[in-house]
């Protein structure tokens, strides 16, 4: 993978390791397509926790939850049983109402799955809400 030029002070991508288990694969031993979404979800949860954002407190105290609004993804190569993968999560943009992430599933330094994920905040009644100011500050 080619190295990226990053803006001064920009965070490096978050890294999350995944091992492909038998249950992740189809009859051909290839990772079932929907499981890539599970891998990137786990990586996002780990990324949020690593930043010190307590999603349970966000919900309990502020009535807010993160929700996926949109995923655009490309399946580039197949992963197989017992592969060791790494999910990279990188912030693409942050606005008052949405967070756009780029996530890549890597094997041996090569991208095998790529996604652009748009995250929004919802109230406990399911209505859209602005991203909390403290979270926007963490992400900038």
Instruction: Give the CA count within 13 Å in the CB-facing half-sphere of 27.
Output: 0
- Alpha carbon of 16 to those of 42, 46, 74: distances in Å? 8, 8, 19
Catalytic residue among 26, 50, 54, 60: 26
Interatomic CA distance for residues 87 and 105, integer angstroms: 4
Kindly give the residue spans of alpha helices, DSSP state H, lying in 19-97: 33-50, 55-62
Please list the residues that pair with 80 across neighbouring strands: 30
Residue 26: active-site member: yes
**Torsions phi, psi for 116 (to 5 deg):** -110, 120
End-to-end CA, the chain: 25
Residues designated catalytic: 26
């Amino acid at each position: 993978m080619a190295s990226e030029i990053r803006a001064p002070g920009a965070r490096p991508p978050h890294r999350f390791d995944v091992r492909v288990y038998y249950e992740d694969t189809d009859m051909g031993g290839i990772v079932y397509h929907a499981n890539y979404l599970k891998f990137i979800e786990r990586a996002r949860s780990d990324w949020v926790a690593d930043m010190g954002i307590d999603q349970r407190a966000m919900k309990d105290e502020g009535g807010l939850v993160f929700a996926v609004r949109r995923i655009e993804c490309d399946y580039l190569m197949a992963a197989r049983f017992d592969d060791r993968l790494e999910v990279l999560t990188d912030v693409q943009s942050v606005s008052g109402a949405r967070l756009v992430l780029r996530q890549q599933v890597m094997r041996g330094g090569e991208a095998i799955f790529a996604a652009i994920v748009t995250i929004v905040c919802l109230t406990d009644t399911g209505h859209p809400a602005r991203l909390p100011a403290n979270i926007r500050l963490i992400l900038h």
